[in-house]
Amino acid sequence: MSTIAFTNEKHFSSGVLLALGKKVEVEEEVKIEALTLAYKNNSLENKDAVGGFIVDMLRSPITRIRLILMVAISFFCAIVYYGLSLNVVNLDTNLDMNVVLNVVAEMPVYGITVILLDKFGRKPLAIGTMWFNGTYKLLFIYTAELFPTVVKNTALGCMTQAGQIGAILSQVVVVLERLPFVVFAVCGIVGGMFAFYLPETLNQPLYDTFFGLEAGLV
């Protein structure tokens, strides 16, 4: 039957055989059905939902911890990133020169990040950017790889929103006379420490559902 199908440029599913006109399920299909049945009996009802919500992420222990950490990291990183840019007004030098130097110093960071991203991984660079730079563009890639497809956009939205709140508060920090750099240092250190609790996603499989994510970590 396979030869005939090949001759007619047709394709049979690898999990199905034809026998006397009836579909016979092979062992792999039986295993898939068993996993599906076990999943349906699981208390987390919305794991394989087409769309995901914040509630779904909070129900799963894995994504709940990751979401809290990424929101906190994004918040602290935004304070440092935007705060350093806005704090040039407090430096006792030429304002125009400060702005230009701030932009020029930031430009190489993006190129270096791209080069080192696949060499050292997401986690070390996330920690490094929090402690030494405050550039949070890397967090978008890291967040997308930490969460399954069904809630990827939701996780990115939460992370981005936390970053915008941090950006707003950074303007308040800038007017605190001598305290800005102390606040930036504390936020960077704390954010970097939070990143230690996140897993490395370099060369790791990306999952579509909660069930796939949890099964892959077993």
pLDDT tens string 103-156: 787 777 778 888 888 888 889 888 888 877 656 778 899 999 999 999 999 999
* All domains of the chain in start order, with CATH: 2-40 (no CATH), 54-209 (1.20.1250.20)
How distant is the alpha carbon of residue 69 from its chain centre? Answer: 10
Range of weakest confidence among 10-14, 62-66, 104-108, 119-123: 10-14
Residue 10 carries which DSSP code? -
Q: What is the Cα–Cα distance from 74 to 6, expressed in whole angstroms?
A: 53
How distant is the alpha carbon of residue 50 from its chain centre? Answer: 19
Q: What is the Cα–Cα distance from 187 to 162, expressed in whole angstroms?
A: 14
The reported pLDDT for the residue numbered 161 is 94
Report pTM: 0.72
Most distant CA atoms of the chain, gap in Å: 87
| Segments of the chain assigned E as strands | 16-19, 22-25
Helix, strand or coil, per DSSP, at residue 104: helix
